[in-house]
Amino acid sequence: MSDVVALAEHAERLGIDAVSASDHPFPVVVPGSTGHHTFDPFVLLAQTAARTTRLQLVFSLLVAPYRNAYLTASMLATLADAAPGRVVVGLGAGYLEPEFEALGAAYDGRAGQVGATAAAMRTAWRGEPVGAAGNTLRPVPTESIRLWRGGNGPRAAREAAGLDGWMPFEAGTRIAAGSGTTRLRTDDLAERVAVYRETCGDRPGDVCFVRTSPSWLVDRPRAVDELGRLAQAGVSWVESGTPGRTPAEAKDDLERLAEVRAEAAVSS
């Protein structure tokens, strides 16, 4: 974990705005699977918060059905108390059925749990009672914990319009099939963002487009052009993944991202 936190410190020095952590406590990792191991995102982002001052700390994605909503609200409120204004939670439904089974979580009906979890957490964060006995949360966040709805499908985009943002991810045919979501490429994004914005009405909302592989950064002129086109399409954040390789290679990915962003002259 120390190498990952050191990379986050380097990202902050480069002027990158945020780092993210994903949520796979017990995946099945076999050839051809989309499952992969991760550090616990709460612990990792807490360590990152302690070693940085400006970086936004993004859960990408936190799987809503894996935990009790009020327990999750408490954990996030504690992190937000340590890093006020820096916590951003992408909430998703999850897709790895064997992981659900290992955790004793309900796979069927999982998409419906995302909105319910978001509503429950917001109630808790306002300090309102969440049970008949008058159960309340402390500490109540002093600054907003932003909630983004992850996922590519129409339901995800609709629910995102009632939260603080939408967090779709780049998915070709194979990845879309493996993760049980809607295919989404950069060329499709402008139309999908326009529909999301229309659903939002006058409410502002972030759009964070997740690019799961750093390969788009290899051709620098093309990457600069793509970043500019994404900004024009209404994307406010781009998350660029880096696979589990060596720290040196991941550092190179971060530096390429910072250079491309600077050349494209976009702010996030």
Task: Extract the residue ranges of the chain whose pLDDT is less than 50.
Answer: none
- Length in residues, the chain: 268
Angle value at C-alpha 119, between 115 and 123, nearest 5 degrees: 170
Beta strand pairing status for 87-92 and 56-63?
parallel
Give pLDDT, residue 91: 98
Q: What is the pLDDT of residues 114-166, one digit of tens each?
A: 999 999 999 999 999 999 999 999 989 999 999 999 999 889 999 999 999 99
164 contacts 150 by C-beta, under 8 angstroms? no
Per the CB < 8 A criterion, the answer to whether 2 and 48 are in contact is no
Position 36 scores a pLDDT of 86
CB burial of 156-182 (b: ≥16 within 10 Å; e: otherwise) equals bbebbbebbbbbbbbbeeebbeebbbb
- Phi/psi of residue 75, each to 5°? -60, -45
CATH number at residue 122: 3.20.20.30
Task: Kindly report the pTM of this predicted structure.
Answer: 0.94
Q: Report DSSP state, residue 169.
A: B
Write down the pLDDT at residue 145.
98
Q: For position 173, what pLDDT does the model report?
A: 64
Report, in angstroms and rounded to the nearest whole number, the Rg of the chain calculated over CA atoms.
Answer: 18
User: How many domains are contained in the chain?
Assistant: 1
Give the CA angle between residues 208, 11, 187 to the nearest 5°: 30
- Distance of alpha carbon 34 from alpha carbon 241, whole angstroms: 14
Name the β-bridge partners of 237: 208
Specify the pLDDT at position 267: 59
Residue 18 in 3-state DSSP?
A: strand
Residue 200 Ramachandran class (φ > 0 left, ψ -120 to 50 alpha, else beta): alpha
Name the residue range of residue 230's domain. 2-264
Q: Which amino acid is at 191?
A: E
C-alpha span between 86 and 56 (Å, rounded):
5
- Each residue's pLDDT tens digit, 167-189: 999 877 666 666 677 788 888 89
Residue 200 CA: distances (Å) to CA of 120, 154, 188: 21, 13, 19
Q: Any idea what the Cα angle at residue 182 is, between residues 176 and 187, rounded to 5°?
A: 95
